[in-house]
Structures are given as structure tokens and as C-alpha cells.
Amino acid sequence: MPDSPLSDSPYEVLGVSSDADAASLRLAYRRALRHAHPDTGGDATRFHAVQRAWELVGTPEARAAFDRGSGGGMAEPQHEAWAPAAPRPRRDSRPMARAYGHPGGWTRERYLDLIREWAGRGVTLDDPYDAALVRSAPRDIRHVLADALAEEETARALATLGIAYTVWHDIATDAAGPGFPPKLDHLVLGPTGLLAIQSEDWGGPVAFKRGELVGEALDGERPIRLLAARAKAVARAARVKPTALVVVVPDEDAAMPLEVGGSVRGAAVVLARRSRLASAIREGIPGSPLLGGADVMEIRARLQATIRFA
């Protein structure tokens, strides 16, 4: 199962309640497997999801482990996957991109506020990242946690760009308007351009339609419009222009590794799988002009003088 707070639980994949007895669970598994099989009108992705769901709850031992929140044999417990990660040891000595700000920091704080408010006034949460607690929370709260994780994953990818790049995370701006996070997730500057980046996990696939992202999970949200507004505000303050607007999603939520959906005010608009992001930036985003060394230095100085963090 994808390691996301928005992922369907194994019970949801199989179409049963979490308190279903063993016989009902097995019957649901067989039915779901039959409907998901590519030979009967299903698809390989759904078929694999059903098989994985059965691995997690199909035996008494695996089910008990999953219900305890251990992830049922996954590589690491859900708490470990969702709680703030400790700094990872460097595996090589290659220079990393210069980075400023706290990726995912504002969003994690927002999640903690929401989950505590939802749990109830006066209730002490021993572990706000407990898997059972997270799975029981409303979708909008789980979405906030999923976004925090997405921002942190993107930051790890951007760090590998190398010393020629500078990255800013969680840049303060209220340009998206009331009700939306008052920040730009990431801004990347290097020889391949100035890129404004939004990290997202909506829990479902998205695609371009007439220059905007659409998908059932978006619920009317217009991500490109919001990203463009944030990027414009941050860039205008520094008297610079972004060369690309990039929305990054989990690999399974984009049909192609990299898709260009047009342009906004001369900036290329792109949907990227998370695994493709760093290499795409190094190669250069299609439609995003390259920058000379003097230009990069001038833009960096202007941004450093104006950027504030959320």
C-alpha cells in the first residue's frame, strides 16, 4: 500500500469494515480480486492493491499487526513513516544544494493543530502520528499530513541537485488568498532556471486540462492558479521572474514522468512525478530558459534580500 495518510486502508480496498470476521474478509478478497483482474475489466494497479491489502490483513497475525498500527510487515511502522524524521546520514560526499527554510514545517504544525482540535478539547494525544488515529481522522486533516510528507520528500530530492543550485522552502506569501496555506512550498534557482514548486499528495491521480490540473481528488481546487499567484508575489518582491511552475505528486498520481501543460506569464507549467523532479531540473524543464552565471548571482542576491519564511 502507498505510504500516505490518504491511502485507502486494506479494509477499504477490500470493501469491508475493519471489524469484519475472517470469513467475510476472505469472501471480500475473492470478490475484489475477481473485479480487479485485468481479464475481467479491472486493471493491474487495482489488482496489485487488492493483493497487497490481503498481505496486510489476510492472516490473523498480519491483521493484528496492522490493527496495532505497525503497518503489517511494511518496511517501517506507520508512526516512523509519518512522524518527523531524524536527519539522515550522508551516503556520499557530493556537494548538496544550498537550502534555506524548513520544508514541511508550517504544514506539520497545521496538522498538529487540526488533529488536536478534532480529538477534542482537553484530550491529550500521546502520539499524534498513531496510525489508528490518523486513519480515523477526517480526510482534510489526513490531507494536511500527506502534504507535509510530500514537501519533505521533495526537499530531499532537491538537496541532490548540487552546489550550483539554491533552494528556499516554506516562503511566506498570502497571495493564494484566505483558506489556503500562506506560503510557497519551494523555490529553486540554478543554471536551468528559477522554478516555483508545489509539493502535493491529493490521494488520487491528476492530469492537465486546458492548462489547469483536474482530478476527482481536487474537489474544485485550482493548483496551477494558486501556484502562479504565489510565485508571482514572491518573484515580484525581488523583481525577478520565475521560468517554470512545477507541481510534484507521488509517482502513481501522474500518467507521465514529466508533462508540460502550457505556460503562465511566460513560465512553463509542469506536472512531475516525484522520482523525476531532480533529473528534470538538472536537464532543464522544456520551455524554461537557461540562466547565465551572472544572472543566477544577481537573482540569488535579490531573493535573499526579500524572502521571508512562513
* pLDDT at position 251: 94
* Mean predicted lDDT score pLDDT of the chain: 90
| Residues 244, 268 contacting (CB under 8 angstroms) | yes
* pLDDT at position 86: 65
Residues of the chain with pLDDT below 70 are 1-3, 69-81, 86-93, 122
Q: Where are the alpha helices (DSSP H) in 74-200?
A: 78-82, 105-119, 131-136, 139-159
Q: Decide: residue 26, CB within 10 A, 0-12 exposed, 13-18 middle, 19+ buried.
A: middle
* pLDDT at position 63: 87
* pLDDT at position 75: 37
* pLDDT at position 73: 40
| Residues 115, 125 contacting (CB under 8 angstroms) | yes
Q: Structure pTM?
A: 0.84
Q: Where in the chain is the domain with CATH 1.10.287.110?
A: 10-75
Q: Which amino acid is at 65?
A: A
Homologous superfamily (CATH) of 10-75 is DnaJ domain (1.10.287.110)
* pLDDT at position 180: 94
